[in-house]
Chain A
Amino acid sequence: ETGVTQTPRHLVMGMTNKKSLKCEQHLGHNAMYWYKQSAKKPLELMFVYNFKEQTENNSVPSRFSPECPNSSHLFLHLHTLQPEDSALYLCASSQILGDTQYFGPGTRLTVL
């Protein structure tokens, strides 16, 4: 595997389900990011981690819970989501904060 990978690529869940999105970067980077991409809206930064420490929570509802166990892995735990949370969730990484960001392919999430 190379670059930034995300699993699953597609996810359909009910509003009462609990699921997790996984991101792994194989680039030796130290900063990782979660973005939300909705139709006809700009990418929205959700969370930022730098050397495993969360440095940014962009007013994201608590039904989204990030976890960064090490610099290579990033999770987004989901629970009690709403239909408006349906979107493409993108993970990105960079060598350091502020450096060029490399994106994964995203997880297409549908909340029923």
Chain B
Amino acid sequence: QKEVEQDPGPLSVPEGAIVSLNCTYSNSAFQYFMWYRQYSRKGPELLMYTYSSGNKEDGRFTAQVDKSSKYISLFIRDSQPSDSATYLCACDSGGSNYKLTFGKGTLLTVNP
């Protein structure tokens, strides 16, 4: 079983739709959860960062972590064509183990 599972998509939605992106993980030691956005021909950029369970909101983006079910989500409200990118989830157990474990990424296209 892979440590972080993420459906690669592709996912295509109309402009204004609510987008839900999800990952599951198997390592119960993971404490930190991140979402990166990667535009075509660019490196990943950190979008959201969450510690432990709970929700975090930043503008149109909401990150949600449910440690009991080992499930992490990213919601995008009022999606825009500029949100078209690959979204990568990443998990980290913190402490002396500083390695990020990434999902494969989900390719999202928002159509105008």
Contact = CB atoms under 8 A, between A and B. Distances in A.
B87 interface: no
Contacts of B11: none
A105 B94 CA distance: 25
Nearest to B103: A42
A42 B106 CA distance: 11
Contacts of A48: 98
Nearest to B6: A42
Number of chain A interface residues as a range: 20 to 34
A106 B4 CA distance: 23
Given A4-B43, A90-B44, A100-B46, A42 B102 contact: yes
B85 to A, nearest CB: 13
Contacts of A4: 43
A102 B34 CA distance: 13
A45 B44 CA distance: 14
Contact of A100 (B8, B49, B95): B49
**Interface core residue of B41, B42, B98 (most chain A CB under 10 Å):** B98
A3 to B, nearest CB: 9
Given A42-B4, A43-B88, A104 B43 contact: yes
Given A4-B43, A40-B8, A101 B100 contact: yes
Interface in A95-112: 97-98, 100-106, 108
B104 A41 contact: yes
A101 B88 CA distance: 13
Given A40-B104, A42-B102, A98-B98, A105 B49 contact: no
A90 B43 contact: yes
Interface string A68-112: 000000000000000000000010100001101111111010000
> Which 7 A-B pairs give the minimum distances between C-beta atoms?
A103-B43, A98-B98, A42-B102, A43-B102, A97-B98, A103-B44, A105-B43
